[in-house]
Amino acid sequence: MLLKKIVIFAFWLLVCIAALSPFTELEPVKQLDSLEEWQKPSRITALNEADKKKVLQRLAYTQSAPVFTHLPDFNRYTDTTEKKRAFFSYLRPYVKRENARLRSLRQQLLDIQQKKQKRLKISLEEYAFLYSLYDEFRMDVAETDESMLDELLKRVDVIPETLVLMQAANESAWGTSRFAVEGYNFFGQWCFREGCGLIPNSRLEGQSHEVAKFATPAASIKSYFYNLNTFHTYASLRDIRARLRREGKPVRGEALAAGLGAYSERGDDYIAEISGMIRFNRKLLEE
């Protein structure tokens, strides 16, 4: 009799878990301690503690950070396909995490935009969230309006995995460059403060730039996303992405590559090379 009751209890417990699981998946677990210092809001001091926590929850990453592992020695791979798979596998979790946060932020912005269009009241917490994103995405906004929100939505959006991984492969020689090995710099980002990175051997006399050095792959990926989503240099990439959104078309890496003319002094040749790499490696990228 006791065994029968245990079996029945276990059965109904499983039924309840199965019934609730679709709803629990709708709300990702927020990583409240996941923001870098430059991502943390500076304009929420006037809020009470409860509202501060709500704003931080809105801004937080929705996925846990990948477990840190040192950069593999990609030169040891003799099979090119396996080398590419290993490179993609190493960086892909960091890319997915950044895009997951951007999707969460973007959906919240779209919700606020819809409320404003319907002339519904925007809460203090929502305004604090909105202005926190203006700060994070390099917009100097004293008073928000429709055009400012539209511009913010241009910036708060995903960067296709295919584009990120192909630029990383191109700029870091598939993870084997000096800057990738010594500084987790997969994208050739420069910095201009003495000691901020690695001095390139090809730096000319009179130049002062260094190639940025990062403590982790996560920091490198975050910096790349920040650059493309905020710097005026890549406004054309963001315009292409916004146009695709308006037209209801998918945001694909090859389409956005057309906005990378300023990423390299090679201009159109660089765009053609990245686009060609995406096409050539598409099968591996989609595994």
The model's pLDDT over 126-168, given as tens digits with 9 standing for 90+, comes to 999 999 999 999 999 999 999 999 999 999 999 999 999 999 9
Share of the chain above pLDDT 90, in %: 73
Nearest Cα neighbor of 188 from 204, 172, 200 is 172
Over residues 251-277, the mean pLDDT reads 96
Give the pLDDT confidence of 201-251 residue by residue, as tens digits. 676 676 667 889 999 999 999 999 999 999 999 999 999 999 999 999 999
Residue 206 is predicted with a pLDDT of 65
Give the pLDDT confidence of 101-125 residue by residue, as tens digits. 999 999 999 999 999 999 999 999 9
- pLDDT of 44 above 50: yes
> Which of the pair, 259 or 19, is modelled with greater confidence?
259
Lowest mean pLDDT among 32-41, 154-163, 191-200: 191-200
Q: Kindly provide the b/e burial profile for residues 15-47, where b requires at least 16 CB atoms within 10 angstroms of the residue's own CB.
A: eeeeeeeeeeeeeeebbeebbeeebebeebeeb
CA distances for 98 relative to 33, 140, 176, 206, angstroms: 15, 23, 23, 36
Over residues 46-74, the mean pLDDT reads 93
Residue 256 is predicted with a pLDDT of 98
Residue 210 is predicted with a pLDDT of 83
List of E strands, 81-133 = none
141: tokens are 């906004």
Strand, helix or coil for residue 191: strand
- pLDDT of 194 above 90: no
Over residues 165-190, the mean pLDDT reads 94
Measure CA 262 to chain center: 20
Within a 13 Å sphere around the CA of 271, how many CA atoms are in the beta-carbon half?
A: 14
